Each structure stands twice: as C-alpha cells, then as structure tokens.
Structure 1
Amino acid sequence: MTARGITDRRGRGMTLVELLVVISIIGVLLAISIPAIQMARESARRASCSNNLKQIAVALHNYHESAKRLPINIAPWSFGPKDIPQHNGKGWIASILPQLDQPALYDQLSVGFDGDFLSGGGLKDPRVLPAMQTQLSILHCSSDGSVRRLSADQFQWDGIEVALTSYKGVLGDSIVGFPQSIHNGRLPDCHADGGCGGLFWRVTYRQSRTLSDVRDGLSNTLMVGEDVASENNHSTAFYANSDWATCAAPLNYFPRPPRPNDWWDVIGFRSRHPGGAQFALGDGSVRFLSETIDGKLYRALSTRARRENVQVP
C-alpha cells in the first residue's frame, strides 16, 4: 500500500448519511431519557410531599393526644365578656407548630391582639409579622412553585407578604353559604352541620373536634389535603380562615381564567401532581386520589359522621 493510500484512509471523515444516523440515535436517546428524568423528579417531589403530609398528620395526632381534641379550625384572637370568642386569630396549622418542632414560631403567633387580626391591623403588629412571613418547608409541596412568599395584595392585605401553605384541612362536602357555587345550589349548604362537616368544619369553626367524632372510620375519612396557593386568595399558612378547603368542588378543578377572589370557584383541593392529589387520612396514612374519582365517593370520604359505607380507592 502506498503512503498516499494510507493518508487518504486516515483523512476520511463521516459521510452525511453517517452523521444523520448518529443524530437520529442521539435524538431517540433524548426522547427516551428526558421523560424518564422528568418522571423521576416528579416521583421524588411527590414522595417529599407525601412525607410533609405524614408529618402534619402525626403532629395533629400528637396535638390530639395532649389536648384531647384536634386544633380549632379558626381559633379566636381575643375573647369578649364571659370568655366568648371575638375576632379571627390563628388557624389550626399555627396551633400545631410545637408538634412540628417550631415552638418559638408558635410563641410569636400567640400574642394577644384586641381586634380582628386583619381589619384591626394585627397583621402589621411587629410582634407578629416576622412569624407570619416565615415560610416552612414542611408546608411547601415542591411540585407547587407558587408556595413562596407571594405578595399579600393578592389576598387584599395591604401588600404585605406572608407565608403560604400547600396543605389545607378538610372542611367536608359543603360550600357553606355560597349559593353561587359551581354546583348552582345542588349541594346542601349544611349550616346546621347535619353530617356533611369534616374534621375542620368552618361554620362551627370555634368548636374543636375529636377523633372519636369520626364515625365513618379514621381510615376512610380525609383529614388534610393539597391545594395550589396561587389559585386562590385563602392560602396563608397561619391565619384563621385560610387553612381549609372543601370536597364539594371536584378534585383538581382549576377554573380558567383563574378567579382567585371567587370562593365558590377556588376552595377545592388540587395539586400540581399529574392526575390527582394527596391526602392525609384520619388514621395518619397518606393516599393519592385520582382526579377522576367518583364525585359522590370523594364527598363521602370528606365527611366524618354521615356513616357512608365507603372506602378509599
């Protein structure tokens, strides 16, 4: 073989066909690997979210063990004559902060205030505001990027930024007082709490519940579920009346365009997880519910004492 032949062979590059084949192979590998990576990341986020719900459920059980009741959905900020509750104060999440290893934060939120927390200026109280702005990772589902200190003017709170939560207490299966609901009044309003209330019932919010009040079975009663903070105007982590949602709205219902100030559109449970959302049950377990769950079954799982013969799918 001549020296020129050797030189020609060594200098030969890839043909256009060979280059296209290599590009095609790389494209196929990317098409396979990218969705797999995304699925793995979402699986990790979902596992982290499940762990958050588990810790919250354990904290609720520990609170119940100590207080012999669950925390009040909307705790009073101050009391009037004869110890009658006056004005909205902290919510149930704030009440379990010691059980979530946050005793100092709990103490900051437990100062007294004479007047409603919002309209009376309590939000701007320098003793309270730093605590209200403390975002806890345990209250943040990593699939929901909106749970960071969003501007509170979304909530009409004078532009003050506050900490938000991805997790809400289960109110039950009623809209409670909103006839303009997505169901157009076809669901009972249940002001008398005639069995349709959940563990964090709103109308009787100054009354606490016990686990023994759950006659439908703790393993078949939803206690805490997911919500997407940016979709509504009631997602503050520690203030009363911002820590509950209802199963009257379909699971993963996202009104479009978003209407964050319309309670009847936004007070349902939802998540950024594909296909459904996670819930902590009364027994402390955590389950993923499909967004295609039967509506009657979903609402039955949200009540505590209607004695429906249902099980979590």
Structure 2
Amino acid sequence: MKRRAFTLVELLVVIAIIGVLVGLLLPAVQAAREAARRMSCSNNFKQLGLAMHNYHSAYDRLPSNGTGTGIESSGLVNQRRLGAMAGFLPFFEQQAIWEQLSNPHQPEAGETPAQPTILTANGSWPAFGPRVWEDLDIYDPWQTEIPTLRCPSDPGTLPTGNGMTNYAFCHGDAILRVGYNSTNAFLDRGAFRGMFRPQVAGRFRDVLDGLANTVAMGEIATDLGDRQINGSVVNKSHLGNSAALGTSGKLCLDVADPQRPQFVDDSVPLWNTGGASRGARWFDSFLMINGFTTVLPPNSPTCPLDWGVAWQSGIYSAGSRHQGGAHILMADGSVTFITDSIEAGNTEADSISKNYNNVGQQSPYGVWGALGTQAAKETVSLP
C-alpha cells in the first residue's frame, strides 16, 4: 500500500501561495492599524475640544498660551511660560496632575532642583512649579506623559522622559513678532490674529469670523531625529536676524532637500536639543514647542528667526504622522482633517504686520490663513 503524502513540489506551491496571501494581507493590516490610530488621535482632539469649551463655560475666557507665576525679568519661578494646556487639565480628567501642579510639590530624596532659591520654606517647589525648561527629569508634573495628549501615530520620545504633546495652539497667520509677550516694548498687536496668544486670555466673543470657521488647535509632529520636514525645527541661525521671511515664506520652503522633499536638506542646521523640539513639553507655551501658525500648509517646515526676540518670529507649521495632512480642532469643538494641499494663498506675500502697513487686512495665505484668524472678516468654507 502506497503512503499518501504531499510531494516536494506540492509543498513548495502551498508555501508560495501562503507567502503571496501574507504579502497581500500585511498592507491591509497596517492600513487598518493606522486607521485605528488616526481615529484615536481624532478622539483625543475631541476631548480637548470639550475641555476648551468647559473651561470657557467655567471662566468665561480661554487660558492664555503663556501664563503662570513670576515676571519675565525676575529670573524666578516659571516666568509666565506655562502653556494653556495646564489650564485644561481638570477638564479632561487630569485632576490629579492639576493638583500636583497647582500646589507646592516636594522633591523626592536625592533630587536637587536647578533653582534652589525658588523652593518654599519646607523645601518644596512652589505652586505651578519651576521654569518649564528646568527640572525636566525630576519635577513630577513635567515627567507625566498624558495619553490624551499623544497621537498614537507618533512614536517620538525624549531622553529626559518628560511628557510630550501632539496638539498645539493656533497663534494666527502672522510671521513677525507672533510670539512676543504682552510686556515687550516692540509688541505688534496687529500680529495676534489667532485664538491664543502669550499672557492674554481670549474669549469666544472675540471670534468674529465664527467658531466653526476658526482654528483653535492643530496637530504637530515630534522630532524623530531623521530630519523629516514635519517634525524638525530649522535652527534660528539659518535665516538669522533678517526679517526677509516676513515677505517670503518661500525661504522656509527652500530648506527641503530637492532629492527628498519630505526631508530637510543636510546643509540646513536643525534645532534638535530634544527637550526643546516640537511637542517636547506639553506644559510649555513656547511657540516653537507648543504652537503653530497658518502660514504654510500642514506638514511644511518650521523656521524660527533670530530677528528681534529670538524664536518669537518665524513660521511654525502644523503636521502629523498621518498620510497627507493633519487633524485640526475648530473653535466650535469639531475636529476635521486638513490636507497638505489646502489652498494657502501667496507664499511671497507680506506678513500681516505694522512693518508692512497691512494690519487688519484679510489673510494673504488663502483658505488656510483665513481659518487661522479669528476676526479678519473672511468668509471661508472648510475644505
């Protein structure tokens, strides 16, 4: 009696068929996983939208993206660099972190704060903590990674282990002086056209263009160390102290590698200190870290200037690790996905600024720019 068995040829054919099926299935599995991550990312944003509205209901205002204790010249406490996200904490179920942050907090054994002079009489950090760039590896609120603030599609991490974010605040469509604080002698009030600004609280009543037509927050991509356009920050030394970027956004677009447009050219210096990169500190109001402007479309470069007050002028772009665009939170609490191809007007236009006598005019950056302004009286439709 003959033994019934597969021949070698039959086994090879079966293995080949299985290999083909696996090859066909894996992309579908990866696509399904990314779809789930993207949905989770959108849900996080909806939670932040609810937190924003609940905060406004409670206080009849929005938190400024730049608040806290101390004054700019004192060198003490946090110098009003605390981001708006801190105010939202109790409103998206992070009451425990809010309690830690808003009360004196005792260092653990062996922890030495960078500024011992700010400690209270019993050796605690004061309420609202140290300056936001200090004690990143020991102050517990700074160390806390909040899942709601991280998009699952972005794998970025930091060696300091402090909490990061993928959700930033919209500062409007200006380039020059857009990050200046309220005490700066060279402040340009006409440049503050977004819903958030340093040290000044906004209100929904200020949004004359309509809550449904105004961007409140947007996704940002963190730095993965691979020079990708959407997560990298061009060092302020590249464009230096020239205000030319205010009349030519193309200067920022030109940092892309001609052979690999999704990456910054190797000749362009980057700011990659980790703890001061895009999204590196959820608690920091610094525009380079936790803000964006609607000058260039999502997933464009971020190019700060050394002009005036360093890092407070420039182009700060939204971005994400999703394919083709980024999530945006509108002022009415809705979340939409804006593609990289959104109409963004004239990149060679003069920035809205007292320098160019165009304060109060409609955004020169098309639909994208108009969505970033809260009271420029533009009538736009979401793409």
Fold conserved (TM > 0.5)? Answer: yes
In 2, the alpha carbon distance for the partners of 1:226 and 1:74 equals 19
Paired with 1:220 and 1:299, the residues of 2 have a C-alpha distance of: 11
Which amino acid in the other structure matches residue 337 of structure 2?
A: F
Q: Percent identity?
A: 35
Does the aligned pair in 1 maintain the 2:175–2:315 contact within 8 Å? no
Instruction: Determine helix, strand or coil for the equivalent of 1:163.
Output: coil
Mapped partners of 1:72, 1:65: distance in 2 = 15
Query: Is 1:129–2:139 an aligned residue pair?
Result: yes
1:249 maps to what in 2?
A: 296
User: Aligned pair in 2 of structure 1 residues 311, 11: CA closer, same or farther (>3 Å)?
Assistant: same
Shift of 1:163: 1.0
SS of residue matched to 1:78: coil
What is the CA deviation profile of residues 142-173 of structure 1, one whole-angstrom value per residue up to 9, with x for unaligned ones?
A: 10000x4x13xxxxxxxx54211110011111
Secondary structure at 2:205's aligned position in 1? Answer: helix
Inter-partner Cα distance in structure 2 for 1:238 and 1:125: 11
In structure 2, the residue corresponding to 1:55 is in which secondary structure? helix
Could you tell me which residue of structure 2 aligns to residue 197 of structure 1?
A: 193
**1:30 Cα deviation (Å)?**
1.9
Q: After TM superposition, what 4+ stretches of structure 1 lie above 6 angstroms from structure 2?
A: 117-122, 261-266
Q: Deviations over 1:8-40 (max 9, x none)?
A: xx3563253x44543442233123211110111
Using structure 2 for the length normalisation, give the TM-score. 0.63
Higher strand proportion:
1
**2:69 matched residue in structure 1:** 77
Q: Which amino acid aligns with 2:94?
A: Q
2-structure distance, mates of 1:56, 1:125:
24
Amino acid at match of 2:149: L
> Which residue number corresponds to residue 186 of structure 1?
none
> How many residues matched?
271
Measure, in 1, the Cα distance between the counterparts of 2:132 and 2:38.
38
Q: CA deviation at 1:289?
A: 0.8
Secondary structure, aligned partner of 1:91: coil
User: C-alpha separation between the residues in 2 aligned to 1:239 and 1:41?
Assistant: 31
Taking a change above 3 Å as real, the CA distance of residues 27 and 193 of structure 1, as seen in their structure-2 partners, is farther
Alignment partners' CA distance in 2, 1:36 and 1:255: 33
1:311 aligns with 2:321: no
Shift of 1:249: 3.1
Asked if structure 1 preserves the Cα contact closer than 8 Å seen for 2:136 and 2:142, the reply is no
2:36 alignment partner in structure 1: 44
Please state how far the C-alpha of 1:111 moved relative to its aligned partner.
4.8
Contact kept? 2:195, 2:374, Cα under 8 Å: yes
Cα distance in 1 for partners of 2:4, 2:216 equals 71
Unaligned runs of 5+ in 2: 73-77, 105-117, 120-125, 179-185, 224-230, 234-276, 304-309, 345-365
Q: What is the TM-score when the length of structure 1 is the normalising length? A: 0.76
Quote the residue 1:216 is aligned against.
209
Q: Distance in 1 between matches of 2:382 and 2:331?
A: 12
Q: Which amino acid aligns with 2:6?
A: G
Mark the structure with the bigger radius of gyration. Answer: 1
- SS of residue matched to 2:50: helix
Secondary structure class of the residue paired with 1:169:
strand
Residues 84-125 of structure 1, C-alpha deviation per residue, up to 9 Å, x if partnerless?
xx922321001111112222312322358699x999698339
- Once residues 310 and 224 of structure 1 are traced to their aligned partners in structure 2, the CA distance between those partners, rounded to angstroms, is 18
Q: Residue 67 of structure 2: SS of its match in structure 1?
A: strand
Tell me which amino acid in the other structure corresponds to 1:286.
Answer: V
Q: Are residue 143 (structure 1) and residue 153 (structure 2) matched?
A: yes
Structure 2 match to 1:95 = 87
The alpha-carbon distance between structure 1 residues 191 and 40, as it changes in their structure 2 partners (threshold 3 A), is farther
Equivalent-residue separation in structure 2 for 1:141 and 1:238 (angstroms): 16
Instruction: Report if the CA contact (8 A) 1:92-1:240 is conserved.
Output: yes
Would you say the 8 A contact 2:80–2:199 is kept in 1?
no
Give the conservation status (yes or no) of the 8 Å contact 2:302–2:316: no
Q: Is 1:274 matched with 2:274?
A: no
Q: CA deviation at 1:206?
A: 1.3
Distance 2:80 2:378 in 1: 33
Whether the 8 Å contact between 2:301 and 2:317 is mirrored in structure 1 is: no
